[in-house]
Every structure is written in structure tokens, then in C-alpha cells.
Structure 1
């Protein structure tokens, strides 16, 4: 069976088995996906890589002793390694430009900078593996290094150097395992994607059925089309419930065989019943698979209904051909190259005397003997050379008699044009040969025995019209003696009524034109009998005198045969008129006689179609006419049989396919005088053949398109290759012209991407097409396929020389989004059908998948860049926050001791003013750390009543440094400004972000104006400014005279990650942060900007009033409050621990101090007295302050807690406000602040 391989090639089953443990549950197959691993792939492609090559190690370390320690460690370990070292970052960069080590051992702190920035921004084209070394066991540095990609983090020590070979080997082995896992995950993802593409895009009907109960688990869209059921109504149901199989036993045998043998089932034909009840023929393949851990049956099917119908048509045509061959009086035969008969007609059996069984065992040479055998062999050789031949030979029949036959033969070829045998006809010419022999003998005797001629012969004087001689045959014919005829006028031989001016027809014709002629006439016998004769008359000279010679042949018998033939023809005409085919009889000199419904085939009323050969030829299709006429001429010359298929144009314009056969009848000279044959309408058969061919071409095109979508990464290159593929389909494309447009939905326009055959005006007109304009724009606007079989009248641009044509315009859709349009030129009059439309929709779906995938990849790359920038800013923020945190711890000690000294010294002391300056400097430093924490967004968010003028004034110096000296900062505070209630750090963030944007908008010198004001907004203002609410507001304005922004940019400036700056210069989060802060404080923002005229931001924050309606006043500084309770103090910073203990003891408290959480837990368990309060730092190496509180509280229920920290990100709750009930003290703090917080916590 030759259909199964074709089906398998259309839907490779190995692809359907690729998916693993995902949704489908098919068996996984190795996809062969590999990853090079970048520069590391060469090092770690095999487990033995480290053993088969020397490791190239680069040490970046400014301490030579450390480098030597590592070298010694490798020497003592006996590990082959090439070690090189550099001492600075600049030397490292120079080295990396010329070489690529396998691993870098990187010291974090080098003479020319910290290595963290370099490690977190490795070049994309030359990344490197590294392991970090540092002298400090800082957990944050370790975390940052690992985030940057370090294989490990090593704290420098002699033990660490000694153990370095094992550390390096372990780290690189762990890295290799991670890379292998990533490659495996990518291979699995690609496997699932390929399965999904093949399963859902395949034109084959595919279903998956659980073997144990016959429940359908999945079907594809083609299965839905073939059966008429939709997927939702069949999944989970048993296939027998759907009553699809016509032969239920056939399905039972299939399932039983599958369960028994667990093997693939060969393909076979079945009939299925659609939901509508229509019966369809399909070819089916089945195989047992493992699906979701259960044995299931994978079924793939192809709808072959059209092919089956075509086979029936072909079978009927074959039956008709056999009937026609059996009806002809000539022998018909065909045999293969070995001489075995392939077919013969009944005439062959009748004439030869052999039965069909006997003929099947015969060879052609069995019917000839002697020289005829050689003559037949020579004829076959001529057929090989000339394609056809004719020969006469004696044909030996079963009873031993020989009959003379004329045989014609031609080559028999298969569909590929290979000669597989010979076919021909044979005609019994025994009687004709005998007549020819008799004629030759007669002519020989004519000269000797005139009187013995069988035909009557008469010789008359041309001048006198008198008979001068005649032979005995003529005398016998007219029943007269020779003496009665000689000397008489020639008219004596003819009936008087046939004479013209006393002369017969033949005599008169010779008298007039003196040319030889032949005609039929009648003679009159003496007894009055009319004898039909054929007269051949000619003028001869004897001794210079003209005589007329006439030869008279009695054709009485022939006339009788002619009459019989007419009767036979009448019967033939009656039979032909009742056939479905048309039989023709062409008198080559005159008209064609049609028998059958030729008028119906040609679309004419009865008797309306032409009876001339010219009229028939005028209906031939222009592409077929020369071929058909050449075949007809070749047959009339006796070169080849007339068997041809061609198209004719009906009267109504429809083209139909006909198959014509015919045989020329020839006279004694071999000249054709008549041709008879039959014509069959094969339009439906041709349509079926074209449909099958088109289905295969569609499948091949889809396979090629899917292959392109996988192999080509560039979007435009894919579109170009895919368009070429579509234009190669001759039944679809016209002049190989077409284009692909991509859509800009925001502008409602299509933009030409690739094209074929566009130039000049057409190319210019189609470069940009608005939605709704022409067919392409209409396809985009309406999101449906647009088709027109003739588009000439709708063209905006008319290009000279453009042939009439139509269009397919197919939208490329993703859900409701238009991605583009495919435009194809089709022939004028092209007929749209469902199969074609479905194919183009499937093509558009592949286009959409590729376009979306390419855009997703581009978007992913863009997001990765933004994420990298965000991480960089986060790292800088972490650095700033960490510095501020550590600085706060030191400031707490400095400020604390200076305040204690001021409290102990009298103001008259000469050192009092000096210590006062130290204290003031410490407070200013604390303000600086607060601003650093605001930048890092690590500041605790606590709402305070602010005078905005005072707050801004305090920030002016920092803001001036932020924008630079070339930009003038102007400050215009409003008088009697209302208060606002917000976190001061949030106001810092607002001003910092707005001024950075203003600075970036000013190309060189310029100015920035900060101003404040107050306003009472009414309903009219709010109606014109969406988002605003009526009420009283404090206004903060920031203006610049920079480049300004367009309206489109202004509409998007508050979107996260939106930025107009170059890559790497902005995160796009600044204004988004400002917007969030303002909204959090129930305010709103107005932006006024024009390109070239600068930008003004106005921020409206609600006025704050106290509950009694009065303005809030800043509280007076609290006095020092002492206590007597016992407190447990936990702080990992030694200097601060000592300072805090002194402060607490001076305030009257009993202090239990611990330098770590573990010691604090031990102390709390051992102390026998009551501990009233736990004072703990938030961030500590062993345990966080929160966790320590939980441990101590479980041991001593009821104990109170006071948290303290340099920054407090770890204890911030939702919306940035401290959790209710938590007592917190920000480092550094004053003695007064400490005393107040202690009493609050103990209350």
C-alpha cells in the first residue's frame, strides 16, 4: 500500500512523541538541543574536561604574598595549573583585552577601586567566571558578589589559600551542573513547543484515545472539521458514544490488536459518519503511546473521500473503454516488454479462436510463423525508434488457418514516460488482399486478353461519339452482342432519362474538360435492367486520333453493402444518442456529425452547437489548442493514435475538461476520408485530481513554512522567505506578485515590509496603507479575509501593462489585534473556496506566531536591559543605605559622648564651645545620612507636620550640587505658607527627582526655579483637570528652561520604565516615584511643557490643620526622663554597645549588655531578676532583631521591646508606615530622645 508513507511524511510521528511530562504526556524523545555555554562551553562540555587540560587561572590581588600562597597551594596539591596575576583593576582590564582565563580569583578592594562595579557589569561579548576574595567577612559583600555571578565567596586566610585548589574545583563543578540543568530545561521547552505546533497546525486529523475505556483525551482542529464535532463536546466522552465508525467491528479489531500487541497498526481505509450524518472515507494510521502515564492510542487520519470518488469515476471510465474496445470489429491488444499479453478485446478472442485463459498464456510471436516472425520483430524495433509503426503479416489462428492482417502498434508508457510495453490494433484484410491480387492479374491480362477483363471496357471515337470496341464483360453486362454495340452511339449503354444532350455524364465530362475522371452511373441492359456501375473514363490517342476509354465496374454488390452500412450507421446513431459520452463522425471533407448530448456539454440548446471542425476548434482553451491540433494532425498522417485531454469553453464562459479518442478511416491509398471516435466529459475527475494535488501541495507548503519559522530568527528574513513560498504555488499565485504588511495599530496604518513584483508608483502607493483603504486596509480594519476575483476598478494607482487580476488580502491576527496583512495576486476570475481560505488562515496563524515570538524576544531583551539598570540602581541604593547605616552607628557614639560631655562641663569651660562644635557637626552629619537614606528609599516613613519653605531651604545646598554649577537655582518661597503633613524624606525624593530631570533637560547653561504657594481649588478648576479634588492645597512648583516635551511624551512620563533618555542613562522610575508619593499623600500633579520652551511641574498637596482647626506647632524639645527598670541591651557594634550602656546607666537603669543575640538569649535565661525591657539592634549577623524579640518573649512573657537601627527597611510595614505597636529609635539619637523612647516603650 503506497499511501501510508505519504501520510507519515506529512505528519512525522516522531515529532508527536517529543513532549515529556507537560500537558500532553507523550513520551519524551531526545531533541538534540545543545547549548554552547558561551566561552565556558569549551571548558565544561565533558566531565573529564578538568582532567584533560591545564586550568588557566588569573589572580587579581595587590598582596603578592597572597598570590604566592595560592601558587604554593597548587604546587603542594599537585594540580596542573597555569597561574598569572595582576594587582589593579586597570591591569585586569588590559589583560582581558588580550586573553581569556578559565577562572578569575578577584580581590574586592584594590588600589584603584572596588571590584564590585566591574563584576556586576561584565561585557556581554566576553563574560568571565570569577571567585571573590575579601579580607572582611561581611555578609552583604558576599550576597552582592553572588548576585553578580561569583562562583563562591572566600574570606582570606592561610587556611583558605591552602584549600583554594579544592574550592576552585568544587565551585566549577557546581557551575557545570547548573549549566547542564539549564540546557536540559531549554531542550524540554523546545520539545513541547514543536509538539504543540505539529499537533494543532497539522492538516491531518489527530486524536488521542485512552485504550482501557475508549475515552477521547484530545483532538486537533482538523479532526473537528472531518467529524463535524467540536473539541469541547467530545473530550472526556467515549468514541463509541459519538457513533463515528460506520463499521464498529473494524474499530474493535483495531483496539484489540493494539491492546494485544502494543504495536503500531498499518494504515487502512475506513468510513466515518460526520455529526451531520454524511459519510466520509478516510485513511487511518494508529499507534500505541504512553499519555499521562496510561496506554493510549494515537490516531492520524486523512480525508480521502475525493480520491475514492475519483477512483469510482476512473473505474466507470475503464468499463466504458472496455465496452468500446469490445464493440469495434478490429483486434485490440497490449503486451509488456517480456511479451506477456496485458489486455485484449473480444474481437481478438473471436478471430483467433482462443479463450481468454488460453490467450493469457500466449505471446505475440505465437501467432506468426516463418518470415512474419522476423517482420514483426523489425516492426517493434521501428516502434522504438519512431513511436509507432504498421505492418502486414499472416495471422495464424487456432485451427491452423492463416488470415492476412494489417497491424498498427505504438509504445505503451507509464506515468513517468517509461516504455513498459506495446499496444495496437489488427484488421483482417484477407479479402482486400485477394481483390488487389485479382486486380493486378487483370491489369496484366488487359494488354494480352482485353476480352477476359471482368470489368466492362468500351472504346468510343471522341469526335463521332460512336463505339469502336468493347469487351465481352461489357456485352454480358448489358446483355448485348458485341456486334450490336460497335458502331452505335455510346448513349446506347445508358437509360435515356440520364442523358444530357444525348450524351452520358462521363462522356459529356470528357468532351468538356478532357480530364480523366471517375463517377458512379447506371447502365441499361437490353432487357431493361439498370446496372449500377462505377465508371473510370479517360481520353487516349491511337495513331493521333482521340478516343474515349471507359471502364465499367458492376457495383451492384457494393451498393447493397452501402445500404446495409447505412442501416448499421442508423442503428449506431441511435445507440450513441443513448450513451453518456458523445460519439462523433467527421467527414474530413465536410462536417462533423455528433451523436450524444454535445449541445448539453457545450451549453447550447439542442442542435445549437457547430457542425464544423472549425467551430469545434474555436472552443479549445488557448493553452491547449496547439497541442490538440498537433495531435489531430499527427493522427491523420498515421503517426500516432488520437487520444488527448483538453479544455473547452462553454457558451456560458465555463471551462470544462474533455477526453477525446478517435480513429481515422483510410481509403485504398491510405488517405483518411473519415474519422470516428468518442468524447467524454472528465471535468469532475480533473477536479478530484487537482484537489488531491492541491492538498499535497498545501501540506508541503505548511511543512516548509513551519520549518522556516523554526530555522529563521530574523523577522524580515522569515517574511521574505515565507512570501516566496506562497508565490511558488501556481494554483494560487498570479505572476508571482504579492506583499506582506505589518500593522501599527496605534496609528491604524499598514507598512510594507517585503514584496515581489512591486515597483514605481505601485511601490510608493503601497508603502503605507491606512486601515480601511483598498482591500488590504479593509482586511486590517474588519479583521477578515478580503477576496476579489477582479480588482481593476478599485485600484487607486493604475500601472501601465498590469494584467487584469484579483487579490487575496489575509489579516494576520493575534486575538483581536491586527499584526499585519498578507497580499497575494490571483488570476482574474479565480474562484475562492473553503479549502483555500482555511489554508491562508493557517498560513496567517503561522505568520502571527512568528511575529509575536520575535516581538516577545525583542521585548524580553528590552526588559532585561531595564532590569539590569534597575538592579544597578538597587545596588547603588543598597550601597548608599549600607554606608548610611554604618555611619549612623559611628555618629551615635560621637553625638552621644559629645552630649554627655556637654552635660558634665560648665559652659564657662574653655572646651565647652569646642565640644559644642563637635556636637553640631555630628547633627549635620546625621542630616546627611537621612538624605542618603531617602535616596536609597531605606528611610522609615513617618508623617510629620512640615513647613515646606523651611524644608526646601534646608535642601538648597544639596540640590545645587545635584544640578551642577552651570545651572542657576532660584528659590521663590511664598509668605504665610500653610503646613503639610508628610514624611520629610518623601519631599526630599520629590525634589531630587524633579531637579535631576530638569538638569538632564538643559543642554548647557540654564536655570531651575523652585517656588511655593497656596491655592483654594473650586469645582470649575477640577472639571478641567481630571484627578484633582476641590479644597485647599500647598503648591510646590519646579520649572526649567530646558528642551521641553511633546504632548505624546507628557502623556506617558509617569509610566514605570518609560524614559526618553539613552540606554543606561535612566531607569524610567523617577517620575513614577514622584507620582506615587503625591498620590499617597492625596495630592495631584500638573505638567506644562512644550518642545523648546521648557517644563513646569506643579505638585498640589492638601493643607494640614490640627483637630481644633489651629495650625500645628512644632513640639518643644522633651526634657530628660529617668527610670529605674532593668533593661537587656543587645548591639553587635562594640563601641556603640559601650556608649549605649553608659547612657542607660546615667539615666538610672540597670543594664544587662550582650554583644550578640546568642549571648543575649543565654543572659536572659540565666538572670534571676525581672527584665523589663529588651533594647536590640534590628540587623545583626546571627539573628535579626525581630527573631530575637520572639525568642526572648517566649522565655520572659510580658517583656517590652525597643528597636534601634541606622536604617529600618526591615521593620517597615505596608505603605511605608511603622507597624502599629512597634517602638523604634533611629540612630544616631540624643539623650533626650532616648529617655523619651524608653518611657514610651515601658508604658
Structure 2
């Protein structure tokens, strides 16, 4: 049976005991084994020095090179046939053998790729798990070798040492099958190599991490649109990113020069004070705004954010991130001008159009700014900035640049350069007359239809900035809004004029009352009923114009409309200024604000007095006609009877002598017959159309 291999300490103790049993040597004389051991130690130190020097001298010394050198030294020192030196990847936790050598697994050359092991087993897995070295000259019988890798081991002698750095596992050196048994000196040598291996691995990984970090930061710096720099405590640049090229400088030509060399003279005091404050307090201002000189001598506006790197408790380096804010300042300035422009707006669209044109002129400064509007086949200059006094304000549209812009341009800026060489030199009379060079225009739309253009024309070759183009588009849209308002107000005025004419010429009383029943507005017909003018009617109530009883009736109907909403149709009587009681048929409707709250009553009243009389007469005529139909037969028969009675009475009267006492009675009968005949005559039918007896 194979015994448990002795630990290195136990082997050393045995050597000490054996040494005590040997006879003492004279002082100064070294045994052959001692000489051999000294030579081995010297060779080990040379190997270690060689590895360390290779690492220190060459910047290209890789972990693969390190693993190869360490493994070669370990194999040479121990006489091992197989082995590998592998390191632990701190990110994945996997063991990587980069040496590309014959390994203890297969005993044959690798395929050229680093060997990566995900699971650790067998004897070397025990070493990794326990972070302890292992030496055995009977590996095949060692119970710890029953892991999956056991079948891959070709020999029975095995030694492995963990590479530890600050008690953390960095890698492993594993050896197998020496031409002799492994001893304590072999283990000590490999442990020494493992320590060097661990130290260099950690340094190399740290350097790789630092390089990766530096590469990441460098990529960020290179990709940044901002300029990044560092300044020493003397105020001189120690680093400058490539963004300096945007301003004409090569980064290297700025390094070593003082920051104030590149600052506008008026801003140097600010920078000098800021630097002094930083060196004194170790803190920087949140933001600094100043002007920086380009290589061509011009300046740009910069915004700087800084940080301080301390060393030994004192400022050592100032890091700076500088952003070009020239365009932002231009945009802020333009937006301020736009804000001031819009704040000047009033109710008159025409005046607002003038304000917009003047604002465009202030932004384009040296340009002539025009707002032109198409009117049929003509082009009218509605408003302008710095236009020549003799320039016609109304001209034929065809041939003008603005006409082409209105016809063809989409919702984007329309720019024509070298006007004197373009076709417009012949078609547009203003180009040659005023020696124009550059045209920048934008269409003005109302309800999607192009109706005009806002343009700036220059006598020099000019390039518009993105800010100027954006501002022109905003102003052109503002013109479109004001034009729409102008058209709407013009239409409204026309509608109001039409309604006013209808209101004033109507032969009906039209009025508006507030919630208190007071007249807000009346037409002339309504006011004339009370002998007043429309203006005199304002503020009066019905109680001021007629008796309380009549006024109360009108007020009750007004309040009913206010409470219930909708419309109310009714007849009411009023007392006119002529003292007549007139009957009016009124339609009253509730007036509401936009939120639905009642604000008053709108009424339209028509004089129906004569109509009422006609209606009464018609009723009476129809009633008489009905009576006639009933009484006509009776009256006819009654007349016949009366005629007979009258005849007989007359005959009797003629036969009686004067003084006859019967004679007065007969006279009474004749008088009664006359009265009855008169009544019968009234019962004769009437013609409903003429009112006369038929």
C-alpha cells in the first residue's frame, strides 16, 4: 500500500534528525550535497532574477511569456517531464494555462490556444481548494487523485504549489514525472517560483486593468465633443485632448504653455483669480465662463468645469472640461430677441408684422430684410428693414426671387449665393440695381398655403448660421400666424358690418339685457319705441320705461329664460313714448359665456297690435256667420208672419171709426210689428268678406 506522502515539514525534520546522526565536519568544509544545494540555490536565484528582469525590461512581457519562463525554470529545477503554469482569471474564476506546453493532462502538444479549465479536480484541484502545496511520489495511489482528471495523469509522481498573493489565489504551478523522486528542496524551489509568479501575475493584471481603464477613458475623451485638459499648479497645460484641433491647435503645441496665453485679455483677471483661489482652497468654482483665442486670432465663448487632484494634501493638478458655448450663446441671444419681439405684440396684426420684420433685421444686422406678400400677379412689400428708399413696394411678381420661393420652396430655408451670376441677375430687377450677392428666405404659410416670404438679402457673400436659419423659420411661422389673424379679423369686421346693418335696419325690436334686466344693447327701432337713442337705452330697465305692472310681466319672463335656459316665445304689452299700449310678440333666448354660465337675455320683439285687431275682427265675423246660418230660416218665416199680422191690423184700423176705443190697441199692434221687423232685419246673413247684408 502507498502511504500518505510526508508533508514538506516532516521531510525537513527527518533531514535534521539524520544530520544529527552524521559525524561533525571540520569548520569551513562543505559537503558535496551542501555544495550541490548551494549551486541549486544560486541557479534558482538566477532563474528568478531572469524572470523579474524580463518583466521589468520588456513592456511586451505577457502572462504567456511569464508562465512559459516559470514553468521552464520549475521543470529544469525539478527534472519534471510534464507540467503547467496557470493563472486564475479574476473575472471568470476559471484557470487558464497560457504557456502552450505539453501538460500533465495529455502529455502531448496543445492546439495553440490557452487551456481554460472551468472545474478543478484531482490532486491539483485539492491544491487550489486548500491553497496548500502537495508533493507525492505515489500519485496513482493517493486517494485525492480520484477526480475526473486522474485518468489523464501519465505518471505517479506529482507536485503542485498554489501561487498566492496576499493570501489570495492567483494561479498554480503543477509538475509531474521527474526522472527522480521529488524532495523538499524541489518543493521549496517551486514555492519560490510560485511567489514570483503570483506577484508578477497580480502586477500584470493590475497593469492590464489600468491600461483598459486608460483606454476606456481615452476613448471617452477622444469621442467627447468637449475639450479636456489638465493644468499644473503653475497654470501650464500638462495634457490637451485632440479637440484642440477644432480651434487650429495641435495638442502638443499647447502643452507646457500658460493657460492665460489663450484667454481673452478682458477675461484674464477672472482666470487668474480663479486659479489663485483653487490653489489656496483646493476647490474650484462650479463653472467658469470666458473667451478662448483660436489660432486664427478669433475667439469663442467657453464654459469650463474643473476638478482638483490633490497630492500630500495640496493641489497638484487641475482637470478641466471646456465646452464651446458660442452657438448656445447665439441661440440664447436670438431667443431673448424673439421673446422681446413677442412681448411687444398687441391686438393689431399689421403692427405685429412690422415688429417681426424689425426683429429679423436686428438679428441679420447688415442685411435688408423684407416681408413680401403675393396679391394676385403682384408682389407687395408689406414691411421691411433697411430697404432702399427708391425700391418699389408693389411690382410684378414674376421673375422675383421671392416669387420663386413662394412657388417652389418647401418648409425650409431657400438660399441663393452669387446672385450677380445667377439667373436672377436678369429676372429680378433688384439684384443688379442694388448689387445683391446673397439671398436667404423662408416661405410664409397660412392654413397650409404659401402666401408670402420673409427674406434677408446681402451685398456681400454671407453664410447664415444654424441659429439664424432657425430664428428665420420661427419668425416666418409667426408671420403666418399674424396673417391668419389679420385675415380672420378682416372677415370678422365684414361679418360685424353685415350684422350691424341688419341690426340697425331691422323693423323689429332687438335687444340684449344683463342678468339684472338692464339693457346692454338695443337697435334703433327698439329705442325709438321709448323715444330714446340706443346709447340712451344702455343701463335702463323696463321699470324705467313703463308702468310697474307691464315691466313686472316682462321681467318675470326674462328671469324664466335665465333660470330654465332655452328660448321662450310670448306676447307682452308695452307702453310706448306716444302713450299707446302696443302688443309685441317676443322670442327670448338665454346668453351664456364660454363656460356655460348665463350672462343675459337676447330678445327679438315684433309689434303685433294690428294683427291682434284683425284676429279679433276675424273671430267676430266667423261668429256672425255661424249665427246667420242658424237664424236665417227663422227670420224669413217670422217676416212672413209679421207681414200677415201687419196687413190684417192695417185693414182693421181702416175699418174702425175715429174715436173707436179699439183703434189705439190696433195702433200698438202695428208699432210692435215694426219693432219685430227691425229685429228680424238684424238677423239677416252677413257677407264674411264685405261685412254687409247679403
Q: Max radius of gyration: which structure?
A: 2
Write 1 or 2 for the structure with the bigger share of helix: 2
The normalised TM-score by structure 2 is: 0.30
